Amino acid sequence: MEFDSVCGTGLTLGLCLNSSPSMVNLNTMDSTKQPSFEPSLTLGLSRSHGDQNGRVVTKVGGDIGMLYRQDSTVISGGGSSFSNKSSKREREVGSEESERVSNDNNYSRVMSATSVNDGEDDDDCANGRKKLRLTKPQSALLEQAFKHHSSLNPKQKQELARELKLRPRQVEVWFQNRRARTKLKQTEMNFEHLKKCCEKLTHENRRLQKELQELKALKSSQPFYMQLPAATLTMCPSCERIEDTKSALVKNPFTMGAKPHFFNSFTNPSAAC
DNA sequence: CAGGTCAACGAGGTGA
DNA sequence: TCACCTCGTTGACCTG
């Protein structure tokens, strides 16, 4: 970024700031690495999905819907008006159904991990009024896996699900949410960093503006001849008299052109007025 | 009870 | 086409 302020006095004040990665693509950013910002005032967040703002999300099912779907898969097997994706999910649920059934005991145990009334767990599970809370060991293991890989391949997912006695879909969702949390945290950190940079630059700008004012004041307080361009002034080294060649010409236009009056101590050491 | 957290969802994008 | 991803959201649950 470059900031130049040119004022009427002919003084130019420039402030150049290097911004190596002025934009950080959060979508491709490694969450484990800190971006190396240089002071920059660019505060943009890139988003590859341009059409997502203002998109109206019509939620059909939700948590209850999902559970209802599970129920309908098991009990009635119909009555859903879900899209193809839902059908896909239903297939996935269906394919995982045997595993889910085999894990049902544990699932209920997990559901009751923070439950007050354990006796109603099965009923609550069935009507979808309870929320799954992962146990501490489960969370710890997932965190450990996340530290190793922020995303899983199908084999790792299956293995982790088996180890945690969860459905692969749950492991998958946990990783999705975990990535989202990491990204959010990173965004907040980036925001704080940029805020600090912004404050620093504002401070620096203020300081330079002040310096500029001082230079302006200094310039206006100096004698007139000091304000003339150096090329139009001559000074006699012996008498230290300063003469403006232009004004000399104006004074006596009929004389020969003003002798170059620059002192040259090498060629004419005794030159004097 | 308001606000935060988190598992889970649907919509839509993307790469193989 | 499908699997997987991000994004935005929902609703149950927790907490001060």
- What local confidence, expressed as pLDDT, does residue A120 receive? 35
pLDDT one-digit tens code per residue, A105-156: 333 333 433 333 333 334 334 344 467 889 988 999 999 999 888 888 888 8
Q: Which residues surround strand C, with CB < 7 Å? A: A 26-27, 47, 49, 52-53, 55, 57, 59, 62-64, 84, 88, 114-116, 124, 128-131, 133, 151-154, 157, 172, 175-176, 179-180, 183
A77 conformational bin, left if phi > 0, alpha if psi -120 to 50, beta if neither: left
CA A204 to C1' B16, in angstroms, rounded, equals: 51
CA distance A253 to A143: 91
Closest residue, CA to C1' of C11:
A63
C1’ B1 / CA A103, Å: 36
**pLDDT class for A228, splitting at 50, 70, 90?**
low
Tell me what pLDDT residue A192 has.
86
Distances from the Cα of A45 to the Cα of A18, A35, A186, angstroms = 19, 13, 12
pLDDT of amino acid A189? 87
CA dihedral A205, A208, A212, A215 (to 10 degrees): 170
Residues 77-106 of A with CB under 7 A from strand B: 82-83, 85-86, 89
Using pLDDT thresholds of 50, 70 and 90, give the confidence band for residue A250.
Answer: very low
CA closest to C1' of B13 belongs to A49
